A and B are shown apart, each in its own frame.
Chain A
Amino acid sequence: MDMNNSNVDISDEKLEASKSPTGWSIIWREILRDKVALISLIFLVLVVLFVYGISLILNQEEIVTVDLFAIHEPPSEEFLLGTDYGGRDIFGQLIIGTRNSLSIGILVTLMTGLIGIIYGLVAGYFGGTVDNIMMRILDFFLILPFLMVVIVFVAIVPKYSIISFSLIMTAFLWMGIARLIRSKALQEKELDYAQASKTLGSSNLKIMFTQVLPNLSSLIIVTMTLNLAANIGLESGLSFLGFGFPESTPSLGTLVSYATNPQTLESRWWIWLPASILILVLMLSINNVGQALKRATDARQRRG
């Protein structure tokens, strides 16, 4: 992440002593000071470690295999959270679902981030007609009824897979970050340091990515964190409707979708409620961390 690092041999201590005040130390300090954010962060780290760790050991085949002798069992010692209509262990599905939801959330966030950053940077840096045209295109994507268009695409794409699902989501989710980056880049490129780079012979491409981009890093980190929470919500929503993950791959949304059966909703809470709560708590925690980051990067809002 550190764009400043050139390969000159400067000892680490020296670097440490000269940390920029807008850097990681401030972010860290802000999170430590904000108890809610700290707890959220610890929770997230634990969930990630647990989910990715356990799913290495878990036998996914076994979990998604239908067992007709154990349909709709309530929580017991064998099945910590009971079983679903196919006799599959909910707890195991919960872990794999969380892993899948997190993974796709991160993947989509990174891909939309990459597209959004490049798009916004180009539009904002060049400005003028280029910006005008690019923003009109962006506006168009923004007014599309996101959920419907994604569902239609999911329905018509041949050979549907996790990759195509994340590509479809990415195609209609890059606009928010692009717009933020663009408006910040518009301001930054007018600053003397960007102008100076031009007089020093740096190309536009070089100025955009090595001079302006590092100054947008805090905005990018904050936005991507908040986007991650939103993307997990969207993914589970789509999976809930049946237009997310393919059936063989459980997601948190898939578990919640069992609740569309009124009987399950009414009397078999162990199937859908844990997944619902997990989605909620995950999104809440990521948002909390994101908000703390936001405060850390905005000096006026900093708590101390």
Chain B
Amino acid sequence: MWKFTVRRILIMIPQIFLLSILIFLMAQAMPGDALSGLIDPNLDPKEIAKMREKLGLNDEWYAQYIDWIKGAIQGDLGESFRFKMPVSELIEQRLINTFWLSVVTLIITYLIAIPLGITSGRFNDTWADRIITGYTYIGFATPVFIFALVMLWIFGFHYGWFPTTGSVKPGLEPGTFDYIVSKIYHMLLPAISLALITTVNTVQYLRSEIIDTKQRDFIITARAKGAPESRVYNRHILRNSLLPIAAFFGFEITGLIGGTIFVEQIFGYPGMGQLFYESILLRDYSVVTSVVLLFGIASILGALISDVILSLVDPRIRIK
């Protein structure tokens, strides 16, 4: 067990290194540099040249890379020229918003996936299964952004059941009960929209896993022993099928990142996705680089967590 984990973590180091290199090179390719957001255009060009020298912007690329990575590790991600504030401060609030949106989405994803998957797998080839399978088929083919738009159109605008923009009702005191309720209320429609689409993979997986397990010898043995059907499901089948699902949440992070860009944009939800989108439109590149770096690391960590949990659940993976 520990061997696999250690090896898996060792693989992660070059991954993060490569990711940082890639992002650094992307940043280099972007027009402008760290100075362009800071300086007063009326300054003397000689002064600017001096400042560039002082900030190390004329150094070799690897020296600049090392400077950048040093800063990033210490939490210094540069300065946003649009907001005139350090990127780390700017990101903080957005990160919290996106974090909670993701958590709520994941919870809803599993709340939908587990009952549907179990029903569909246990009673396969019944009408209930057919409806659920039909849903997964359609969900699989539906792009998140279209579904989110339709949800906003129907439940946000037409019925007015949900707020159509923002993450909280303006004017509420942070920390109060009303504030929290309003936060959750604003999160609900984006989270449901995203979850209804992302959940279909899990439903499909759970269904085929259960159908598979049902035909295994040890289940047939359990039945032959006279174990009641509910016990067969609760003790044997679900134990075997649910654990891998639990491990998937790490992999889901990568998918969620893509989803949040769309969903936050459509629902006007001030999170990392929207920040990324706005920053790239306004060419606020130090923010863009930071967001990509953070999300990249998040998906590397997510994959790590999933792999380790999976190896705990399924020893066969460790042998690989």
Question: A residues within 8 Å of B by Cβ?
Answer: 136, 139-140, 143-149, 151-153, 155-156, 229, 233, 236-237, 240-242, 256, 259-260, 262, 265-266, 269, 272, 276, 279-280, 283-284, 287-288, 291
B143 touches A147 (CB 8 A): no
Question: B residues within 8 Å of A by Cβ?
Answer: 11, 14-15, 18-19, 22, 26, 29-31, 137-138, 140-146, 149-150, 152-153, 157-158, 164, 254, 257-258, 261-262, 265-266, 276-277, 280-281, 283, 288, 291-292, 295-296, 299-300, 303
A284 touches B149 (CB 8 A): no
Chain B residues lying within 8 Å of A143, measured Cβ to Cβ, are: 15, 19, 254, 296, 299-300, 303
A284 touches B145 (CB 8 A): no
B164 touches A256 (CB 8 A): no
Having A145-B292, A280-B143, one finds 17 other A-B pairs with CB under 8 Å, namely: A139-B11, A140-B18, A140-B19, A144-B19, A145-B296, A148-B258, A149-B22, A151-B261, A152-B292, A156-B26, A156-B29, A237-B262, A259-B153, A260-B266, A266-B157, A276-B146, A279-B143
Taken together as a complex, chains A and B put the C-alpha atoms of A151 and B273 apart, in Å, by 12
Q: How far is the CB of B4 from chain A (nearest CB, A)?
A: 15
A153 touches B26 (CB 8 A): yes
Closest to B26 in A: A152
Chain B residues lying within 8 Å of A241, measured Cβ to Cβ, are: 145, 261-262, 265, 277
Q: How far is the CB of A79 from chain B (nearest CB, A)?
A: 22
10 closest Cβ contacts across the A-B interface?
Answer: A283-B141, A284-B141, A147-B258, A233-B143, A145-B295, A266-B157, A276-B146, A145-B257, A156-B29, A287-B141
Q: How far is the CB of B156 from chain A (nearest CB, A)?
A: 9
Taken together as a complex, chains A and B put the C-alpha atoms of A92 and B14 apart, in Å, by 50
Task: Give which listed residue, B137, B144, B265, contacts A287 with CB less than 8 A.
Answer: B137
Taken together as a complex, chains A and B put the C-alpha atoms of A280 and B149 apart, in Å, by 13
Taken together as a complex, chains A and B put the C-alpha atoms of A233 and B258 apart, in Å, by 13
A-B contacts, 29 listed (Cβ < 8 Å): A136-B11, A139-B11, A140-B18, A143-B15, A144-B19, A144-B22, A145-B258, A145-B299, A146-B258, A148-B276, A148-B291, A149-B292, A151-B261, A151-B276, A152-B26, A152-B292, A156-B31, A237-B143, A240-B145, A241-B145, A241-B261, A242-B281, A256-B146, A262-B164, A265-B157, A272-B149, A280-B143, A284-B141, A291-B137
